[in-house]
Amino acid sequence: MQLTGGEFTNTAAVVGNDFATFPDFPAEIRAPRGTTFGVSGFQIQFASHNIFTPGDAINALVSMNPAAFKVNISDVEPGGIVIVNEDEFTKVNLKKAGYAEDENPLDDDELARRYQLYKVPISRLTRESLAESDMGAKDVDRCRNMYALGIAYWLYQRPLDNTIQHLEGYFRDKKGLPKVAEINVRALKAGYHFGETAEMFPSRYTVGPAPLKPGVYRKISGNEALVIGLAAAGRLANTELLYAGYPITPASDLLHGLSGLKHYGVQTFQAEDEIAAVCAAIGASFAGNIGVTGTSGPGLALKGEGMGLATMLELPLVIVDVQRAGPATGMPTKTEQADLLQAMYGRSGEAPVIVIAAASPSDCFDSAIEAVRLAVRQMCPVILLTDGGIANGAEPWCVPDISSYEPITITHPTTTNSDEGFMPYLRDEETHARPWVKPGTPGLEHRIGGLEKEVGTGNVCYDGENHDAMTRVRQAKVDAAVQVIPPLEVKGNTDSSTLVLGWGGTSGAIASAIALLEAEGDGPAFAHLRHMNPFPGNLGEILDRYQQVIIPEINLGQLSSLIRGRYMKDVIGINELKGRSFQSKELADCIRQHMQGSAS
58 in a domain, yes or no?
A: yes
Cis amide linkage into residue 250, ω under 30° from 0: yes
Note the pLDDT of residue 560: 98
The residue out of 369, 404, 439 marking a domain boundary is: 404
CATH code: domain of residue 253: 3.40.50.970
| β-pairing verdict for 498-503 and 548-553 | parallel
pLDDT for the residue 57: 93
- SS3 of 110-145: HHHHHCEEEEECHHHHHHHHCCCCCCCHHHHHCCHH
Query: φ and ψ at 78, to 5 degrees?
Result: -55, 130
Number of domains in the chain: 4
Are the C-beta atoms of 367 and 356 separated by less than 8 Å? yes
* Residues 443 and 495 placed together within one structural domain of the fold: no
Domain ranges, residue 559: 491-596
Residue 558 lies in a domain: yes
Do 68 and 133 reside in the same domain of the chain?
A: yes
pLDDT tens-digit profile of 248-291?
999 999 999 999 999 999 999 999 999 999 999 999 999 999 99
* Gap between the Cα atoms of 363 and 9, Å rounded: 19
Final residue in a domain of this structure, among 378, 404, 430: 404
What pLDDT is recorded for position 533? 98
Q: CA 126, CA 144: separation in Å to the nearest integer?
A: 6
Residue 69, domain member (yes or no): yes
Assign residue 95 the CATH number of its domain.
Answer: 3.40.920.10
Amino acid identity at 583: Q
CA dist., res. 299 & res. 381, Å (int): 16
The pLDDT score that the predictor gives to residue 305 is 97
Give me the pLDDT at residue 25, please: 87
Residue 390 shares a structural domain with residue 420: no
Residue 205 within a domain: no
Same domain? For 497 and 473 the reply is no
pLDDT digits (tens, 9 = 90+) for 330-388: 999 999 999 999 999 999 999 999 999 999 999 999 999 999 999 999 999 999 999 99
Rounded to whole angstroms, the Cα distance separating 393 from 223 reads 9
d(CA 553, CA 542): 19
Last residue of a domain, one of 453, 484, 515: 484
DSSP 8-state code for residue 431: T
Same domain, 377 and 468: no
CA 158 to chain centre: 27
SS3 384: strand
**Contact (Cβ atoms closer than 8 angstroms) between residue 284 and residue 317:** no
For the beta carbon of residue 379, count every other beta carbon within 10 angstroms: 23
Decide if 281 contacts 293 (C-beta within 8 A): yes
430 belongs to a structural domain: yes
Same domain, 478 and 495: no
Q: Within this chain, do residues 344 and 396 fall inside the same structural domain, yes or no?
A: yes
SS3 assignment, position 326 = coil
Residues with pLDDT less than 50, the chain: none
Residue 197: partners with Cβ closer than 8 Å, 6 or more residues away:
none
533 shares a domain with 393? no
Contact yes or no for 244/213 (Cβ under 8 A): no
Which of 569-600 are b and which e, b meaning 16 or more Cβ less than 10 Å from the residue's Cβ?
A: eebbbbbbbebbbbbbeebbebbbebbeeeee
Return the CATH number at 536.
3.40.50.920
Task: Give the per-residue pLDDT at 600.
Answer: 62
Q: Would residue 202 count as lying in a domain?
A: no
| Concatenated DSSP letters of 518-529 | HHTT---EEEEE
DSSP run (H or E) holding 245: strand 241-245
User: Are 535 and 529 spatial neighbours (Cβ–Cβ below 8 Å)?
Assistant: yes
82 & 171 share domain: yes
Taking CA atoms, 398 is separated from 357, 379, 402, in Å, by 20, 31, 12
C-alpha 405: how far from chain center: 23
Collapsing DSSP to helix, strand or coil, 18 comes out as strand
pLDDT of residue 174: 85
Contact 234, 290 (CB under 8 A): yes
Q: How does strand 266-270 pair with strand 241-245? A: parallel
- Reading across the β-sheet that carries 525-529, which strands appear in turn? 491-492, 525-529, 498-503, 548-553, 572-575
- Ordered DSSP codes for 259-323: TT-GGGTEEEEE-SSHHHHHHHHHHHHHTTSEEEEEE-HHHHHHTHHHHHHHHHHT--EEEEEEE
Q: Across the chain, which distance is largest between two alpha carbons, in Å?
A: 90
Provide the residue type at 345 as one letter: Y
The pLDDT assigned to 93 comes to 95
* pLDDT tens-digit map of 136-179: 999 999 999 999 999 999 999 999 999 999 999 999 888 889 99
Please name the amino acid found at residue 546.
Y
In a domain, 211, yes or no: no
329 and 347 fall within a common domain: yes
Is residue 382 within 8 Å of 233, Cβ to Cβ? Answer: no
Q: Do 324 and 454 lie in a common domain? A: no
In terms of domains, do 399 and 419 share one?
Answer: no
- The one-letter amino acid code at 27 reads A
Q: At what angle are helices 144-155 and 2-15 packed, to 10 degrees?
A: 30
User: Could you tell me which residues come within 8 angstroms of residue 229 by beta carbon, excluding any fewer than 6 positions away?
Assistant: 364, 365, 366, 367, 368, 369
Quick check: is 203 in a domain?
no
Which has the closest alpha carbon to 393: 362, 425, 433? 362
